[in-house]
Chain A
Amino acid sequence: MSPVQKRIFINKLALIFSTLSAIIALAFLFWILGVLVMKGLSALNWNIFIYEGAPPGYEESGLKHALVGQLILVGMATGVGVPLGILAGTYLSEYGKNSKLANTIRDISDIMMSAPSIVIGAFVYAIVVLPMGHFSAWAGSIALGIIMIPIILRTTDDMLQLVPGTLREAAFALGAPKYKVILNVVYRGAKAGILTGVLLGVARVAGETAPLLFTSFNDNFFTTDLSQAMPSLTVTMFNYATSPYEDWQQLGWAAAFILSMFILGLNILGRLILLSTKKGK
């Protein structure tokens, strides 16, 4: 083989291998999605939204408790995590800039982002659950909020830094005080990016199970009492899917389907928002 033929051969080989790998990876993805949709759709019915958990064998059993619990847990985490994350990100981009303190916060936040979520669950268990003496929705939300903060902080920081400095200068040149420059020029310029970060942050914590096992634990009944254990889709899914009862397993699939669609929807929405602003430019 001449050197040129050899290179062409290696080129082809590499192309074949990388294409094959991509197909294998995608095949698994579609396999998972396919099973999820088939099993999940067949398990879906109105009872799921009407009834709370019941012992195995009961006709009138559903996921209302877990759906509402999930919304409460994620909602409270969002209520705390989003403002804190955005404010901290604003500090980094607009005030701390490249100072030592700001860069240290960025590093710590990055470490937190890659910390296993179960560790954060154990932490909240130690500082909230043990002193209170029992599991609670508060503890679950705190754990999810802690997981959410670094994600939102980082995207806010990045998105604010993408706003051109000349836009800030132009606002200052009109006599705007700094807080107004940030509030009505910088935030507006980064609106879509920050919103996308928030959606991705919410999507990320919505799928968490491990930190909830330590904190909000689980309950098979409908509750809105924040100081007690609270059911969630993820933990309920784990319990039902691993149970030996056919009807509980069905509910587990339904929970998996609903949760996946919720997270998929958030991700798609985030992408659409980014796309629509790019087109606008």
Chain B
Amino acid sequence: MASIIDIKGECALHVRNFDFTYKGATAPSLKKISMPIAKNSITALIGPSGCGKTTLLRSFNRMHDLYPGNKYEGEILFDGRNILDPKEDLIHLRTRIGMIFQKPTAFPMSIYDNVAYGLRLKGIKNKSELDGRVEKALQDAAIWKETQDRLKHDANGLSGGQQQRLCIARAIAVEPEVLLFDEPTSALDPISTQGIEKLVIELKEKVSIIIVTHNMQQAARVSDYTGFMYLGDLIELGYTEELFVTPKEKLTQEYITGKFG
């Protein structure tokens, strides 16, 4: 059976007996997943391609609901409520649980408007408040220096690494409690990757972070907890330093020593 540790501090989210089945699929892609997500910590999800990391991550903000016919079973508890409840207000949920995608997703508008997008959705119209919060978000995402002189320029003129920071700024501008990262550096060069990793570590002061990565070194570098997934199962969840040195499960051991994957 899976080996899941108890976490020390508070939990941001709690997954319980969670099954996920894609539309038309005969078998669930995620099977009886149970795991805590620690607050103000970074939890990494690793595992071979196709094991369900992205599927699990996209369940936390109910992204799968954009495509009808997918099925959730079990519970994901957030603030004491099951967010898988069909009556859950998804718009509100997604302002509290933000997401950064694999490829940068800068909107076709100015740098300023990108960051202000979520704020305006929240109904903030006051110019000086918007200005202040846009600047703060850009600073927190460590991209203010490069962009302060060209806030009105098209965001697509930025480099890949800058665009990914912009997306992070856009996500943190609305002050979410949880941030989901799906392989955020897989499209970036090593220098940009380093920068994003540093930023992710800084962000955990304010938010709880779940990061999917196929890069074990990255998981080891940034995360506090690591979950190893295999074929839709969560095999092991442990402290990162323990999991990579003394894994409890044989499968984890084989994966981190490069026997498969």
Contact = CB atoms under 8 A, between A and B. Distances in A.
A associates with B: yes
Interface of A: 164, 166-177, 180, 184-185, 188-189, 191, 280-281
A173 B61 contact: yes
Q: Which DSSP category, helix, strand, loop or mixed, fits chain A's interface?
A: helix
11 contacts: A166-B101, A167-B105, A169-B63, A170-B99, A170-B105, A172-B63, A174-B174, A184-B107, A184-B109, A185-B107, A188-B109
Contacts of A168: 66
Given A185-B107, A188-B107, A172 B154 contact: no
Contacts of B101: 166, 169-170, 173
A168 B98 CA distance: 14
B118 interface: yes
Contact of B63 (A167, A173, A281): A173
Interface in B87-118: 91-95, 98-99, 101-103, 105, 107-109, 117-118
B171 interface: yes
Given A166-B101, A170-B101, A174-B117, 17 more contacts: A166-B103, A167-B105, A167-B107, A169-B63, A171-B107, A172-B66, A172-B94, A174-B94, A174-B121, A175-B91, A175-B93, A175-B94, A175-B95, A175-B118, A175-B122, A184-B117, A188-B108
Interface string B177-192: 0000000000000000
Contacts of A166: 101-103, 105
Contacts of A280: 154, 156
Interface in B176-223: none
Nearest to B171: A174
A188 B110 CA distance: 11
A171 B98 CA distance: 10
Contacts of A164: 105
B170 interface: yes
Contacts of B98: 173-174
B26 to A, nearest CB: 22
B167 interface: yes
Contact of B121 (A170, A180, A191, A281): A180
A235 B126 CA distance: 56
A129 to B, nearest CB: 45
Contacts of B102: 166
A167 to B, nearest CB: 6
Interface residues of B, number: 27
The 4 closest A-B pairs by CB, nearest first: A170-B105, A175-B95, A173-B99, A175-B94
A171 B66 CA distance: 12
Contacts of B107: 167, 170-171, 184-185, 188-189
Which one of B94, B95, B103, B105 has the highest number of Cβ atoms from chain A below 10 Å of its Cβ? B105
Interface in B139-183: 154, 156, 167, 170-171, 174
Contacts of B61: 173
A188 B170 CA distance: 18
Nearest to A165: B66
Contacts of A180: 121
Nearest to A180: B121
Contacts of A188: 107-109
A164 B102 CA distance: 13
B30 to A, nearest CB: 19
Contacts of A167: 105, 107-108
B54 to A, nearest CB: 12
B165 to A, nearest CB: 14
Contacts of B109: 184, 188
Nearest to B103: A166
A189 B154 CA distance: 12
A166 B167 CA distance: 12
Contacts of B94: 172-175
A227 to B, nearest CB: 44
Contacts of B93: 175
B207 to A, nearest CB: 14
A185 B106 CA distance: 10
A22 B103 CA distance: 44
Contacts of B91: 175-177
Contacts of A173: 61, 63, 94, 98-99, 101, 171
A167 B95 CA distance: 17
A180 B103 CA distance: 22
A271 B190 CA distance: 39
Nearest to B118: A174
A280 B167 CA distance: 20
